[in-house]
Every structure is written in C-alpha cells, then in structure tokens.
Amino acid sequence: MNFHNPDDNALRALLTRARRIAVVGLSPKPDRPSYFVAEQLQRFGYEVVPVRPATASVLGVPAYADLAAVPGPIDLVDVFRAPEHVEPIVDACIALNVPVLWLQEGVVNEAAARRAQDAGITVVMDRCIYKDYMALIPGKRRD
C-alpha cells in the first residue's frame, strides 16, 4: 500500500479540532464495534451523528439515511462500511466539503482515499479513531 496516514501530531490536531462526527454505518446494536466507538466518542464530548438507512436513531440521537441528509456542517466522517462502499461516501464528502474522512480498521480503499485527498480532504485509513484518541489526546476520559 502506497498510502500514508497523517503523523501523530496531525492526527492529534484533527481530533482536537473536530466537534461533530458523522459515523457512517453506525449500528444500533450495542455489541457492534461501530456502536462502541460512537458511544465512546460521545463520552469524549463529540457530537455523534449516526448515518444509517432505515434506522430512526442510535445512541439517543436521530439517524440519517446518508451524508447529504445530515443538516449542518460535519467536521469528520468516520466510516464503518466495507471498502467497496467507500466511493459514494467520498463523493458525498467532496460535495459537502467535509475536511476529514476516517476509514476504520479494515476499511482500505486506496483509490477512494487518493481521490478524497486530491479533493483536499484529509484521509485516515485503516485506523481506529477510538484507539488513536486514547493514545494521542491527553486528559482523555476512560469511562
């Protein structure tokens, strides 16, 4: 893989700047990794916006069918979808001028990541936002 993630200082900066995170593929099932990560992000103080079709709400907040349906700006899009589903997510991020696209562990689509980067989006790929937050942000909560 020729793709390179931002270094730790850049990751720390983007995690500090972000306030509103859209989680694409957020499951309403508490035993799923996406639910755990989103729940932790809420505890860390982020506003989590669930993006999942046919789901009314997750973690006590309304869910949206797709990124285009989310009202207001999004600081970071966190993706829990299979790699073959990333291309349309990149299209939406470009259309919405989302500054950061985070593809969770196991979500690797180098062509889509490069296209997002070429559009000016910072891309993190094949990394867990929760694990990076725990490792990089001082004073983190451990609930």
Cβ–Cβ < 8 Å for 49, 98: no
> What's this model's pTM, rounded to 2 decimal places?
0.95
Q: List CB contacts of 71: < 8 A, sequence separation 6 or more.
A: none
> What pLDDT shows up at residue 138?
77
pLDDT of residue 75: 98
pLDDT at 139: 76
Which ranges of the chain have pLDDT less than 50? 142-143
- pLDDT tens sequence across 63-97: 999 999 999 999 999 999 999 999 999 999 999 99
Q: What is the pLDDT of residue 2?
A: 83
- What is the token pair recorded at 29? 């099932």
Domain ranges of the chain: 8-136
**What's the topology of domain 8-136?**
Rossmann fold (3.40.50)
pLDDT at 142: 45
Partners of 61 in the β-ladder = 58
Q: Give the model's pLDDT for residue 8.
A: 97
100's tokens = 């950061």
Please give the Cα distance from 34 to 128 (Å, whole number): 10
